[in-house]
Amino acid sequence: MIRATKSRVPVPRGAALLELLLAVPVRDRDVWVDELLGFEEPSPDVADLPRGSVPYVPTGVEEILTMVLEVPVRPDDELVDLGSGLGRVVILAHLLTGARAHGVEIQGPLVGQAMARSVALNLSHVSFAHANAADVALDGSIFFLYAPFNGEMLAAVLRRIEEVARRRPIVVCAVGLEFRDVAWLRPRNISNVSVALYDSHVPGVRGRTVRSWGRRREGRGRGVR
């Protein structure tokens, strides 16, 4: 097994990383990824989380793979993880696809840990913000949420995401959440029952063009590198 890396050393990317990851038994993939990328134990949850925030729980690697392969995430995408914690979604998705990736996290110590990992891995197209996702302007083509909010905070975040959907087509990937009554989101049927994918459907906004994960935009070769 590949051991944790604490400094600026190269790690596999794109199809090479996917091949290695798929060779690892499913039950061992979370630990394997954390060791490969050098993730440490998360800082304790801060004591003054605002109403509607949920304590940090890391996203499983299988859910991240489902998003990457079934959206699919492409090199020209902009992924935003709302409630990004240690940065597992942001960093792994970027390494697999080359897409720009940004995390928004309300807990400062977790943001510090995530930023330290991206610096150690020398990831120039990965970034993190210490912010309340309900209060910041958002932009991106894919939004990932692992049940980071509930109640009015979740409603406020959805309004922020809808603002983006009125400018460009987006995909929302949700784990532990369902948006059955959100009129501007249309669910997809996918293979992983723990993940829900939704395409934005806004009058006047052209829908997303779906291309296979392993193809370049011109339709030849591999789209990850």
Nearest alpha carbon to residue 208 among 197, 200, 216, 196:
200
* CA–CA distance, 14 with 10 (Å, rounded to integer): 13
pLDDT value of residue 207: 86
For residue 113, tell me if it sits in a domain: yes
Q: Is the peptide bond before 10 cis (omega within 30 degrees of 0)?
A: no
pLDDT value of residue 214: 52
Least confident of 78-82, 176-180, 197-201, 213-217: 213-217
Q: Does 52 score more than 90 pLDDT?
A: no
For residue 85, tell me if it sits in a domain: yes
For residue 21, tell me if it sits in a domain: yes
pLDDT value of residue 9: 55
Q: Does 6 score more than 60 pLDDT?
A: no
Instruction: Calculate mean pLDDT across residues 83-106.
Output: 97
For residue 209, tell me if it sits in a domain: no
* CA–CA distance, 113 with 111 (Å, rounded to integer): 5
In sequence order, the β-bridge partners of residue 100 are 78
Q: What is the CATH number of the domain that holds 78?
A: 3.40.50.150
The band of 151, judged by pLDDT with boundaries at 50, 70 and 90, is confident
**Three-state DSSP class for residue 11:** coil
pTM of the model: 0.87
Domain that holds residue 183: 14-200
Between 47 and 144, residue with greater pLDDT: 144
In terms of phi and psi (left: phi > 0; alpha: psi -120 to 50; beta: otherwise), the region of 181 is alpha
pLDDT value of residue 211: 63
* CA–CA distance, 30 with 16 (Å, rounded to integer): 18
For residue 217, tell me if it sits in a domain: no
CB 200 within 8 A of CB 165: yes
CB 37 within 8 A of CB 64: no
For residue 196, tell me if it sits in a domain: yes
For residue 175, tell me if it sits in a domain: yes
Least confident of 17-26, 90-99, 216-225: 216-225
Please give the share of the chain, as a percent, with pLDDT higher than 90. Answer: 72
pLDDT value of residue 86: 96
Tens of pLDDT along 163-192? Answer: 999 999 999 999 989 998 899 999 999 888
Tally the domains of the chain: 1
For residue 225, tell me if it sits in a domain: no
Nearest alpha carbon to residue 87 among 109, 54, 62:
109
